Amino acid sequence: MPAFPKIDTIVYMITLDEIKKTAKLAKIEITEEEANLYTKQLSDVLTWVAKLQEIKENPITKENSPCTYQREDTPVSFENTGALTAAFNDKKDNFLKVKKVL
């Protein structure tokens, strides 16, 4: 089975001093506990962004994908669209209105 392309990810470490300086520049007050938390969280986010950049530079293709099976994407027609659209009270042109989903 083919493996994913090897990615040597750079790990970014934000220092506690950088967090405190950024908070000061942004004119926000943070506690020592928050500064420690933000140090880890921002380091993780920057490391994740670096991984995304590396994947963008080395995309996974069909040839180097670890997936051994890929189905064909074939469209299937739905025969009873009239009954489905009749179930909606709110319609406008070819659109069906549904309740807001959060």
CB within 8 Å of 60: residues ≥ 6 apart: 4, 5
> Tell me: the pLDDT tens digits for 22-35?
999 999 999 999 99
Structure confidence at residue 23 (pLDDT):
94
Q: What is the 8-class DSSP label of residue 10?
A: P
The residues with which 91 forms a beta bridge, in sequence order, are: 96
The pair of structure tokens assigned to 82 is 């009239």
Q: For the whole model, what pTM was predicted?
A: 0.47
